[in-house]
Amino acid sequence: MPEMSEEYVKRLPKSEELNAMTEQSLRAAFAGESQAAEKYVVFAAQAEEEGLPNIAKLFAAISFAETRHARNHWRVLGGIGKTADNLQTAFAGESFEIEEMYPAYAEIAKLQANKEASRSIRYALKAEEDHKRMYAEARQAALRGKDIADQPVSVCTICGHTVIGDLPDKCPVCAAAKEYYRTF
Amino acid sequence: MAEPFMNTPPKPERLGAMTEENLKAAFAGESQASQKYLAFAVRAGEEGYPNVARLFAAVAFAESAHARNHLNVMGGIGSTADNLKAAFGGESFEISEMYPAYSAVAKMQGNAEAVTSIRYALAAEKDHQAIYEATGKKVVGGADLDATPVRVCPVCGHTIVGEAPDECPVCGTAGQFFRSF
């Protein structure tokens, strides 16, 4: 895998001690690149629907380029640790979204009677609960130097519901049929 | 490529200002989580945890679905002609404002690796801006791009329509490592 080869890694920007303003800049750039990458993936799907497959391919390619920038900035920020630490970081992020962010957003969307926003928030909140549990279990394994079991991980392409093992007949969160899941 | 998701995800609606602000923040959060998890997946693979790597990749994909849903509710997905214009606008801002300012600060502070990471991005955004502009003109004329492959340097993101060079002109990575779309 080229991503791990020495030839490849030596060209990547490395983690370094950052001054505060440069760190702030890189954090903003990481946010911008991450969002651009997601937008372009969605724009690719839209182009495909309009019968423009080559433009779809272009958006997919440029999305990939933006993921390279996001990864580079994140490396320089020192954001990539050992897997046990990364699982802890991931667990903490999911916990914040479950306990603070999405409940607050859901309350406001409800107050403002924004039904579609409420649905988008509910879908995310539900899935983050799955993720938090999975990350906690994986971290326990990684702390003992062990991998998790070799089982399929499947994701609902509509709402992000995430399940390890057998697929349900339909998504318990958004009711999409099991054909809508993507398996990893 | 075309996901069969377009029938039931949340739809665009008129949003209260606070709800719109929250969805913007949630879109930013989901997008960043997705990218972090992809980087964590690579690291897990390197450390000999292929199944943890797969878990990170799957959850990154779930966060992408959330990002897409939030973006759609905010009305952020238009026709391809509009999307190309939005993409061009974003790249232009990064080229003329964001990265030059960040680069100046990083140089002033002597943060060499940050300077490199910013330089890689800025160089590629210029490729993207030019490609989006040319493509936008074609779509307004009702045409798709031709089927020429698009190639991307996996280290710095340098992007070209057509053959990969022997070596990336931005970061020196061998052309054989370029990913083709």
Residue B5 has pLDDT above 50, yes or no: no
Residues B84, B134: one domain?
yes
Work out the percent of chain A whose per-residue pLDDT is above 90. Answer: 95
In this complex, the residue of A37, A109, A147 whose CB is nearest that of residue B35 is A37
For residue B123, the enclosing domain spans: 79-143
- CB-based contact A71 B4, cutoff 8 Å: no
- Taking CB atoms and an 8 Å cutoff, what residues of chain B touch A112? 15-16, 18-19
Same domain, yes or no: A19 and A70: yes
- Side-chain-facing half-sphere of B133: CA atoms under 13 Å: 9
pLDDT of residue B142: 82
Residues B139, B167 share a domain: no
From chain B, the residues in CB contact with A89 under 8 A are 36, 40
Tell whether the model's pLDDT for residue B8 goes beyond 80.
no
Do both B87 and B135 map to the same domain?
yes
User: Distance between CA atoms of A13 and A16, rounded to whole angstroms?
Assistant: 9
Q: Do B83 and B131 belong together in one domain?
A: yes
For residues B96 and B130, membership in a common domain is answered with yes
Residues A22, A69, single domain; the answer is yes
pLDDT at A6 over 90: no
Residue A97's Cα: distance from chain center in Å?
13
Whether ipTM > 0.90 holds is yes
Does A156 lie in the same domain as A107?
no
Label residue B128 by pLDDT band (50, 70, 90).
Answer: very high
**Residue that is last in its domain, among B25, B55, B73:** B73
Do A132 and A179 share a structural domain? no
Q: Is residue B136 part of a domain?
A: yes
Strands (E), chain B: 150-152, 159-161, 179-180
pLDDT band for position A3 (cuts 50, 70, 90): low
A72 and A121 co-located in one domain: no
> What does the pLDDT look like over B134-157, one tens digit per residue?
999 988 888 899 999 999 999 999
Q: For the domain that residue B169 is a member of, what is the CATH number?
A: 2.20.28.10
Statement to judge: residues A61 and A101 lie in one domain? no
A120 to B23: CB separation less than 8 angstroms, yes or no: yes
pLDDT at site B9 = 87
Q: Which of B129, B152, B180 is the best residue to mutate to test the A interface, defined by the most A CB atoms within 10 Å of its own CB? A: B152
B97 part of a folded domain: yes
| pLDDT above 50: residue B6 | no
Name the average pLDDT for chain B: 94
Question: Contact A71/B48, CB-based, under 8 Å?
Answer: no
Total structural domains within chain A: 3
Structural domain including A179 reads 149-184
CATH of residue B94's domain is: 1.20.1260.10
For residue A93, what is the nearest residue in chain B, using CA coordinates?
B33
Is there a contact between A3 and B42 if contact means CB atoms under 8 Å apart? Answer: yes
Phi, psi of A104 (to 5 degrees): -65, -45
Whole-number pLDDT of residue A9:
86
Q: Which of B3, B153, B173 should we substitute to test contact with A (largest number of A Cβ atoms within 10 Å)?
A: B3
Of A44, A76, A108, the last residue of a domain is A76
Q: Which of A18, A46, A76 lies at the terminal end of a domain, its last residue? A: A76
Asked whether the beta carbons of residue A54 and residue B144 sit closer than 8 angstroms, the reply is yes
If asked whether residues A136 and A160 sit together in one domain, one would say no
Sheet holding B179-180, edge to edge: B159-161, B150-152, B179-180
Q: Are residues B39 and B57 in the same domain?
A: yes
What residues of chain A lie within 8 A of the CB of B129, using their CB?
A: none
pLDDT, tens only, A59-104: 999 999 999 999 999 999 999 999 999 999 999 999 999 999 999 9
Residues A50 and A69 placed together within one structural domain of the fold: yes
